[in-house]
């Protein structure tokens, strides 16, 4: 039985680089993204406080806090912790119930998820052993170019990509240093970085059964050129949410809301 509930739930996704929070009451009320820093717990506490303050509500109106992400085990004030796989699936499906495949590239890991028609997880593949193709990889590579991740699209626009064969951060760093020493342009190297991440993403998608519609989530999904590059390689359109970083936090908040309204606990 669904109850007529008037409170809020909060979802917290404590990532290695950024902590994301969502305030939810049947719809997305507020969202926030702040640096995780050295303590996922402190960042999560801060995210909750800011969400409550910005929404001008009282703490007691928040009836459920659900935590997910890299730092979820440290969030001892959460009512429940849930895996990233489940929360990303729930968040993406909430925004677009046609989504059947998710590609998520975060700060330190990446994953692909297959959903059924009800949004349940059917299969997944996760790479959390190395930083290959993740936000951390991208940050190291762009730093070598004297640039920022946010400027990568502008830098790579229209450039012919240099071939970067390694996705290991250490070896790719050596490749880029050699390319720069040999006179390769920063623009072509930036395009090569995007191309290499796209190849990695396609390889991960091939680990599961890819069914339309495909959602691309995580901070790296903000790259318009990367999205287009992946679309070209898989020959399928990709759905991009308005804020690709908060999908896990949104899913956690939706799960908390469902616990309150459906199971009543």
Query: Residue 71 pLDDT > 70, yes or no?
Result: yes
146 pLDDT tier (thresholds 50, 70, 90)? very high
Please say if the pLDDT value at position 2 is more than 50: no
pLDDT at site 262: 72
Mean pLDDT, rounded, of the chain = 92
Domain boundaries, the chain: 1-96+246-265, 98-240
pLDDT for residue 65? 98
User: How much is the average pLDDT of 221-228?
Assistant: 94
Using the predicted structure, report yes or no on whether residue 3 has a pLDDT greater than 80: no
Please indicate whether residue 41 or residue 109 has the higher confidence score (pLDDT). 41
Residue 195 and residue 66 in contact, taking contact as beta carbons nearer than 8 Å: no
Whether 1-96+246-265 shares its CATH topology with 98-240 is answered: yes
Q: Where is average pLDDT lowest: 58-62, 125-129, 238-242, 249-253?
A: 125-129
Residue 263, pLDDT score? 56
Q: Is the pTM of this model over 0.75?
A: yes
pLDDT of residue 1: 37
Which pLDDT score, from 0 to 100, does residue 265 have? 52
Q: Which has the minimum average pLDDT: 33-37, 47-51, 188-192, 219-223?
A: 219-223
Is the Cβ–Cβ distance between 57 and 30 less than 8 Å? no
Fold (CATH) for 98-240: Nucleotidyltransferase; domain 5 (3.30.420)
Fold of 1-96+246-265: Nucleotidyltransferase; domain 5 (3.30.420)
Q: What residues pair up with 21 in beta bridges, in sequence order?
A: 12, 32
DSSP the chain: -------EEEEEEE-SSEEEEEEESSSEEEEEEEE-TT-HHHHHHHHHHHHHHHHT--GGGEEEEEEESTTGGG-TT-SEE--HHHHHHHHHHHH-TT--EEEEE-SS-EEEEEE-TTS-EEEEEEE-SS-TTSHHHHHHHHHHTT--GGGHHHHHTTPPPPP----SHHHHHHHHHHHHHTT--HHHHHHHHHHHHHHHHHHHHTTS---SSEEEESGGGG-HHHHHHHHHHHTS-EEE-SSGGGHHHHHHHHHHHHIIIII--
Dump pLDDT digits (tens) for 104-143. Answer: 998 888 999 999 999 999 999 998 666 677 888 888 899 9
Q: What is the mean pLDDT of residues 4-12?
A: 85
Lowest mean pLDDT segment, chosen from 10-14, 96-100, 127-131:
127-131
């Amino acid at each position: 039985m669904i109850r007529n509930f008037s409170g809020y739930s909060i979802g917290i996704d404590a990532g290695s680089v950024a902590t994301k929070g969502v305030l939810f009451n049947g719809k997305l009320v507020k969202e926030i993204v702040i640096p995780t820093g050295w303590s996922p717990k402190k960042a999560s506490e801060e995210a909750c406080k800011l969400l409550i303050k910005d929404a001008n509500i009282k703490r007691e109106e928040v009836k459920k806090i659900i935590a997910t992400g890299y730092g979820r085990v440290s969030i001892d004030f959460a009512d429940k912790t849930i895996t990233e796989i489940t929360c990303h699936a729930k968040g993406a499906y909430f925004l677009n119930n046609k989504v059947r495949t998710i590609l998520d590239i975060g700060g330190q890991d990446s994953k692909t998820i297959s959903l059924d028609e009800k949004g349940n997880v059917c299969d997944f593949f996760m790479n959390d052993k190395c930083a290959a193709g993740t936000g951390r990889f991208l940050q190291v590579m762009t730093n070598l170019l004297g640039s920022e991740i946010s400027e990568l699209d502008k830098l790579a626009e229209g450039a012919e990509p240099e071939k970067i064969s390694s996705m290991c951060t250490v070896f790719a760093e050596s490749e880029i240093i050699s390319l720069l020493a040999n006179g390769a342009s920063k623009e072509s190297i930036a395009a090569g970085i995007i191309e290499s991440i796209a190849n990695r993403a396609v390889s991960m998608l091939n680990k599961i059964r890819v069914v339309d519609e495909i959602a691309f989530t995580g901070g790296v999904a903000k790259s318009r050129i990367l999205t287009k590059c992946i679309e070209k390689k898989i020959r399928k359109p990709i759905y991009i949410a308005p804020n690709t970083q908060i999908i896990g936090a949104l899913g956690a908040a939706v799960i908390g809301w469902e616990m309150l309204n459906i199971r009543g606990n």
